[in-house]
Amino acid sequence: MSTTSGKAQRHSQFVGQDKPRRNAIRHAHGRGRFVDDIAFGNLAHLAFLRSPYAHAEILEIDTEAARALPGVVDVFTGPDLVDICTPWVGKLDHFSGLRTPEQYPLAMERARWNGEPVVAVVAESRAIAEDALDLIMVEWAELPAIIGIDNSRSTNGPILHPQYDSNVAFVMNLTAGDAKAAFRDAAYIVEDTLELGRQTGLTLEPRSIVADFDPSLRKLTAYHSTQTPYQMQDVFVRHFNLSEENVRVISPDVGGSFGMKLHVYGEEMAAVAASIRLGRPVKFIADRMESFLSDIHLREHKVHARMALNSGGEILAMEVDDATGIGPFSVYPRTSAMEGNQALRLMGAPYKMPHYDGTLTVLFQNKAPTCQYRAVGHPIGVTVTEHLVDLAAKAVGLNPFEIRRRNIVTQDMYPHTTATGYILERLSHEECLAKLEALMDYPKLIAEQKEMRERGIYRGIGIAAFIEITNPGPAFYGIGGARISSQDGCVIKLEPSGKIRVSVSVTEQGQGTETIMAQVAATYLGVDLDHVDVVTGDTERTPYGGATWASRGAGIGGATVMKAALAMKENILEIAGVILQGEADDFDLVDGQIVDRSNQQVRMSLAEIGRIAYFRPDTLPQDYHPQLSVSRHFVPQGTPFDFTNGVQASYLEVDVETGIVKLLNHWVVEDCGIILNQQLVDEQIRGGVVHGLGGVLFEECLYSENGQMMSATMADYLAPLASEMPDIQIDHVCTPTEMTPLGAKGVGEAGTAAAGAVVLNAVNDALRPLGGTLRTTPLTPERILKALGKI
């Protein structure tokens, strides 16, 4: 508390400061509390028999020996759950024509991917449950597996769902202007086909749930590692026929999620079903191989794209044919069409490009289902666009900065609608590009690259502009019929000690949500940051809301907390006015002290307000009822999203003998509006960049021709480690959004959006003198050596 000579000093401007996270201190002391860390009495453990085949009919299941094993409590199959759990379908109304069959917790008559859960065993320990799996006999009839995108698209190959006439789940066409005419009149046309490899989430904490059903009241408490507790509450209510007030979802510490932990998975539904069957708590913690086999995968796309330019190097049009393989089902409740939809709409989005013709084809395959993950669709849209921009730069004879400068949307154009229909409030491409060029000292790098090439060292420079979708409004899911809230809520309570408790519906998975919500509350209330505690992740203790996904926590959650803090402050000043026998307007709240607005003289502490209001209201006027908690909700307004923008660059070296890429430097200039906590913003960007670098260089869910997943361990699925990653230099431009009172936009996905694109461009730049072009990611040494004609 900061008072000197009776006057308060304003220290309570915490927005924009680098405040460390209280939960980081907890984790650094080994005091994290993840689902698997919580002790329960009478706990049973769940394990699954999974399909060893990519595609097979289930002829017979014999569970007798498994049931007889001492310690086994229950064994059940898909048909055993039909009376407990209703099936789900991953469709949204605004993806008209999207088709996908009903899905059940466990496979019903057919298994459709290698790793699909088929039989569940509940036992007194996980070890016993796994022992019992070995005693289950399943008679399978293997069916032909549909694996590759071309394989799925083929009109004369096998069809995955016999009730459909093809393997096509969804087709979308998006046009603007007259792309055909633009290509006819173009001075330059560049085109290529890119293939982006399938990745997975790989959160270090695997998917985890303890479902605890109390049959006496039909009340379910789920301790669930999810980013969206309210969405999961709704899912459990509807599919298990429970009453909403009787379902509580608690998300304790969540060990990474990145979008992977907001989908509905059969295993978690089976855990709830098991707890309902048994009336005791049931735990399922995926082991690492189960995670690889059954967590959502992402970004398997094959894109043929063309770009038309005029003689001045201005982009006239793009034509895009994007085919994506999503596995056997569209994932519930957000659908597996969203990634392709966003990829298609992000094509050419930083640029003035007036004409567009894009087609998305979403295909079924016998692989794990794919769905939304950090930077949904962005890496595909950005990689394809920026690869073509580099090809165009070469064709036109412009350097990579110059061609982008000629084409980016400029300040005089806002608000601007992209050819693909996104409405951009105000972005800062020109400022970001100029800042990047200075930050990386581009002329010096060019000179160094030239000098190195003469010595037989092949270095490359890649740049990429991007926009990022943040702060989604009701048009995102609600309009499509999904019960996923776009609003958030916040309750602020004054404690008797004068401390502040904030409970808010946005959630924390390590990004620092709780800290920035505390910073916003402390700032707009006028109290010390240490006096604010934030509660998240419990449907019973927080207001209902959308939670954290699509880079919405800071922007929408922050605005919600700001509104609640301002309302709480109004209440506190009213109470101060009553106690001090003045008007509320005479006073202000500064650093937890009530001060005279006119001269900042301290009149009383917030603790004194708390004491009087809670314990001595008899000293207040008759019939005066101090309001000591407030709640506020906030609904995003205006356009469907608040876009951010930025530009990234990579400098790297390709060893042309081994095909190994060494990352030398990476730069990001980003504009997320008002920065609430720069260290946390920068670390979101760095973490996001490394997700992108993993995808472009290492990570790949490999399947054999018959659909066996070949990279289902951390020794086979390569992900970035410290020694392979560069330091990442970051700078900012700040264009506040006017769509929220706080002015903050999201930043969680910016790093991932373009990191892969700049590396692809840099590798191709490095190989340019040797004549090889990479078109398939990840850029493995084998693919690089093949592009160089060495193998």
Partner 1 sequence: MDPLIPVSYTINGKSVQQQVSVRTTLTDMLRHQMGLTATHAGCEQGSCGACTVVVDGLMVRSCLIFAIQLDGARIETSEGFADDQLMDELRRNFADRNALQCGFCTGGMLVAAHDLLSRTPHPERAEIREKISGNFCRCTGYEAIVDAISKTAQALPLEDSGK
Q: Using CB under 8 A, which of the segments 1-9, 179-187, 507-515, 759-767 binds partner 1?
A: 507-515
Whether the CB-CB separation of 120 and 79 falls below 8 Å is answered with no
Strand pairing class (642-654; 458-470):
antiparallel
Q: Using CB under 8 A, which of the segments 181-189, 293-301, 433-441, 503-511 binds partner 1?
A: 503-511
Q: Which is nearer to partner 1, 400 or 720 (CB)?
A: 720
Site string for partner 1, 98-137 (x = CB under 8 A): --------------------------x--xx---------
Q: Using CB under 8 A, which of the segments 33-41, 465-473, 534-542, 591-599 binds partner 1?
A: 33-41
Determine which residue in the list 14, 15, 21, 695 makes contact with partner 1, applying CB under 8 A: 21
Q: Which is nearer to partner 1, 73 or 398 (CB)?
A: 73
Q: Does 265 bind partner 1 (CB under 8 A)?
A: no
Q: Does 258 bind partner 1 (CB under 8 A)?
A: yes
Q: Which is nearer to partner 1, 23 or 365 (CB)?
A: 23
CA 577-578-582 angle, 5° bins: 45
Q: Does 217 bind partner 1 (CB under 8 A)?
A: no
d(CA 703, CA 365) in angstroms, rounded, equals 11
* Three-class secondary structure of residue 150 per DSSP: helix
**What amino acid occupies position 115?**
G
Q: Does 30 bind partner 1 (CB under 8 A)?
A: yes
Cα–Cα nearest to 358, from 378, 348, 344, 377: 344
Q: Is 610 left (phi over 0), alpha (psi -120 to 50) or beta?
A: alpha
CB of 649 to partner 1, least distance (A): 16
d(CA 525, CA 249) in angstroms, rounded, equals 30
Determine which residue in the list 161, 483, 686, 768 makes contact with partner 1, applying CB under 8 A: 686
CA 706-708-710 angle, 5° bins: 130
The DSSP H or E segment spanning 723 is none
CB of 309 to partner 1, least distance (A): 35
State both tokens at 505. 């519906």
CB of 750 to partner 1, least distance (A): 13
d(CA 156, CA 158) in angstroms, rounded, equals 7
Residue 45 has phi, psi (to 5 degrees) of -120, 145
* Three-class secondary structure of residue 357 per DSSP: strand
Determine which residue in the list 4, 5, 29, 456 makes contact with partner 1, applying CB under 8 A: 29
**Interface size with partner 1, residues (CB under 8 A):** 60
Q: Using CB under 8 A, which of the segments 19-27, 110-118, 271-279, 455-463 binds partner 1?
A: 19-27
Q: Does 789 bind partner 1 (CB under 8 A)?
A: no
* Three-class secondary structure of residue 509 per DSSP: coil
CB of 232 to partner 1, least distance (A): 19
CB of 783 to partner 1, least distance (A): 23
Site string for partner 1, 713-752 (x = CB under 8 A): xxx---xxxxxxx-xx----------------------x-
Q: Does 70 bind partner 1 (CB under 8 A)?
A: yes
Q: Which is nearer to partner 1, 261 or 302 (CB)?
A: 261
Q: Does 77 bind partner 1 (CB under 8 A)?
A: no
CB of 156 to partner 1, least distance (A): 42
Determine which residue in the list 509, 644, 735, 761 makes contact with partner 1, applying CB under 8 A: 509
Q: Does 71 bind partner 1 (CB under 8 A)?
A: yes
Q: Does 32 bind partner 1 (CB under 8 A)?
A: yes
Burial of 370 (0-12, 13-18, 19+ CB in 10 A): buried
Q: Using CB under 8 A, which of the segments 24-32, 169-177, 436-444, 732-740 binds partner 1?
A: 24-32
CB of 473 to partner 1, least distance (A): 27
Determine which residue in the list 56, 90, 104, 205 makes contact with partner 1, applying CB under 8 A: 205
CB of 251 to partner 1, least distance (A): 12
Q: Using CB under 8 A, which of the segments 209-217, 416-424, 696-704, 712-720 binds partner 1?
A: 712-720
State both tokens at 129. 């449950």
Whether the CB-CB separation of 307 and 315 falls below 8 Å is answered with yes
Q: Using CB under 8 A, which of the segments 168-176, 560-568, 657-665, 686-694 binds partner 1?
A: 686-694
Determine which residue in the list 255, 328, 545, 626 makes contact with partner 1, applying CB under 8 A: 255
CB of 678 to partner 1, least distance (A): 11
d(CA 72, CA 772) in angstroms, rounded, equals 58
Q: What does DSSP assign to residue 408?
A: B
Q: Using CB under 8 A, which of the segments 317-325, 541-549, 609-617, 680-688 binds partner 1?
A: 680-688
* Three-class secondary structure of residue 463 per DSSP: strand
State both tokens at 615. 């314990």
Interface with partner 1 in residues 135-194 (CB under 8 A): none
Determine which residue in the list 689, 709, 758, 779 makes contact with partner 1, applying CB under 8 A: 689
d(CA 508, CA 499) in angstroms, rounded, equals 21
The DSSP H or E segment spanning 170 is strand 168-176
Reading across the β-sheet that carries 728-732, which strands appear in turn? 458-470, 642-654, 661-671, 728-732
Interface with partner 1 in residues 286-305 (CB under 8 A): 287-288
Rg, the chain, Cα only = 28
**What amino acid occupies position 474?**
P
Q: Which is nearer to partner 1, 134 or 287 (CB)?
A: 287
The DSSP H or E segment spanning 504 is strand 500-504
State both tokens at 50. 């999974």
Cα 527 to chain center, whole Å? 32
Q: Does 267 bind partner 1 (CB under 8 A)?
A: no
CB of 698 to partner 1, least distance (A): 12
* Three-class secondary structure of residue 53 per DSSP: coil
Determine which residue in the list 203, 365, 407, 507 makes contact with partner 1, applying CB under 8 A: 203
* Three-class secondary structure of residue 28 per DSSP: helix
Q: What does DSSP assign to residue 480?
A: G
Q: Does 204 bind partner 1 (CB under 8 A)?
A: yes
* Three-class secondary structure of residue 495 per DSSP: coil
Q: Which is nearer to partner 1, 526 or 756 (CB)?
A: 756
Alpha helices in 479-635 (DSSP H): 513-525, 558-579, 606-615
CB of 202 to partner 1, least distance (A): 6
Whether the CB-CB separation of 293 and 305 falls below 8 Å is answered with no
Q: Does 25 bind partner 1 (CB under 8 A)?
A: yes
Q: What does DSSP assign to residue 543?
A: -
d(CA 640, CA 681) in angstroms, rounded, equals 23
Q: Using CB under 8 A, which of the segments 22-30, 265-273, 446-454, 569-577 binds partner 1?
A: 22-30
**Which residues, in sequence order, are bridge partners of residue 223?**
210, 250
* Contact positions vs partner 1 (CB under 8 A): 20-21, 23-34, 36-37, 39, 70-71, 124, 127-128, 202-206, 253-256, 258, 287-288, 509-512, 679-680, 683, 686-691, 713-715, 719-725, 727-728, 751
